[in-house]
Amino acid sequence: MVIDLRSDTVTRPTSSMRDAMGSAELGDDVFGDDPTVTRLEELAAGMLGKEAGMFVPSGTQSNLCALLTHCGRGDEYLVGQTAHAYLFEGGGGAVLGSVQPQPLEQEADGTLDFEKLAALVKPDDFHYARSRLLCLENTTWGKVLPLEYLETVRPFAEKYGLSLHLDGARIFNAAVVSGVPASKVAAPFDSVSLCLSKGLGAPVGSVLVASEDFIKEGKRFRKMLGGGMRQSGLLAAAGIYALENHVERLAEDHANARTLAEGLAEIPGVTVDPVQTNMVFVDVCGDTIHLAERMEASGVLMAGYTGKKIRLVTHLDISAKNIEKVLCEFREALS
Ligand SMILES: *Cc1c(COP(=O)(O)O)cnc(C)c1O
């Protein structure tokens, strides 16, 4: 059996989740007729403390719909240099919305520094794009934005006239680690995107949550981008199951990641970044490609990242026993 640590997107729906999908009540959601999609949207919005939600096929489309709703042509958004919504979404805001990104380096803890941000906000002058939106990511590269930091986000944004979007693909990992409801992590933001298809274990889908008015406008962009789906309650049912059953258990993924990190750190020549959630970044100071091939031959898949570090991600389909085996294989491969 293959142990797949490349990403938390690789999970397969559990049999209970498949049962929930199989018995979902369906309708045409473009007509607003799918009761299961509506229930998912209300559930997600409620959990994140927002008025309304919109089910979309992917996190990329969710962020893009948010970006297009917040920003118009000639506007810009401030965003982390290695944030998904800047680096890994094909430049969608620029291509499809004429929205200019203003990226900046994140701090070591994953936050964006307010002084650096303030210096990047453009004055009201026709030479510049209009600074419209600040986009944060939580968790970001496995790191959880501190609650004290989140409390200062809204006052900053108000001072500079920015609206706030959170790429909360893994917001529930952040909430579980911080020991607070996800609504508290979401509170400062006007819009929040969450992924059902990561650690929560659903096969497909994200939900964008915000005010009623924002989601009404967001649905226009979803349709434009080809994200209006029909009997999508089949997929939404998996999302409901995930939100009702797979949130608390994220703590197990975090514990497995810690065990993995501790075991790896004991191997000579291996350096491991501090672990907060379900991602372990490992520097083996050697040939990672060769190592990845060796590990693959023994049934362990992992992602070489940025050419230097290896990324190992725990999830629903990884058990504590799997972690033991992974550590054995690493010790052997690196000995
Ligand atoms: C995965 C991910 C997304 C995008 O989700 P897709 O469903 O893969 O398009 C957005 N942001 C972050 C932080 C992610 O990890």
Shortest CA distance to 305 belongs to which of 82, 90, 2? 82
Residue 31 burial (C-beta neighbours within 10 Å; 0-12, 13-18, 19+): exposed
Which residue, judged by its Cα, is nearest atom 3 of ligand 1?
Answer: 59
Q: What Cα–Cα distance (Å) separates residue 128 from each residue in 72, 95, 265?
A: 14, 19, 48
Is the CB of 59 inside a 6 Å radius of any atom of ligand 1? yes
Q: Report the pLDDT value the prediction gives residue 305, as an integer from 0 to 100.
A: 61
For the chain, the structural domain boundaries read 12-245, 249-334
> What is the position in ligand 1's atom list of the atom closest to the CA of 167?
11
Ligand 1 centroid vs 168 CA: distance in angstroms?
9
Ligand 1 centroid vs 9 CA: distance in angstroms?
9
Q: Report the pLDDT value the prediction gives residue 69, as an integer from 0 to 100.
A: 98
Ligand 1 centroid vs 332 CA: distance in angstroms?
33
Q: Which CATH architecture has domain 12-245?
A: 3-Layer(aba) Sandwich (3.40)
Sign of the dihedral defined by the CA atoms of residues 314, 312, 193, 184, in that order: positive
Q: Report the pLDDT value the prediction gives residue 289, as an integer from 0 to 100.
A: 80
Is the CB of 167 inside a 6 Å radius of any atom of ligand 1? yes
Q: Report the pLDDT value the prediction gives residue 303, as an integer from 0 to 100.
A: 84
- pLDDT in 10s for each residue of the chain, 335 residues: 899 999 999 999 999 999 999 999 999 999 999 999 999 999 999 999 999 999 999 999 999 999 999 999 999 999 999 999 999 999 999 999 999 999 999 999 999 999 999 999 999 999 999 999 999 999 999 999 999 999 999 999 999 999 999 999 999 999 999 999 999 999 999 999 999 999 999 999 999 999 999 999 999 999 999 999 999 999 999 999 999 999 999 999 999 999 999 999 999 999 999 999 999 999 987 778 888 888 999 999 998 765 678 999 999 999 999 999 999 999 999 88
Reply yes or no on domain 249-334 having CATH 3.90.1170.50.
Answer: no
Token pair in block for residue 88: 């890994």
By most ligand atoms within 8 Å of CB, the mutation choice from 58, 64, 172, 195 for ligand 1 is 195
Ligand 1 centroid vs 84 CA: distance in angstroms?
7
By most ligand atoms within 8 Å of CB, the mutation choice from 9, 86, 88 for ligand 1 is 88
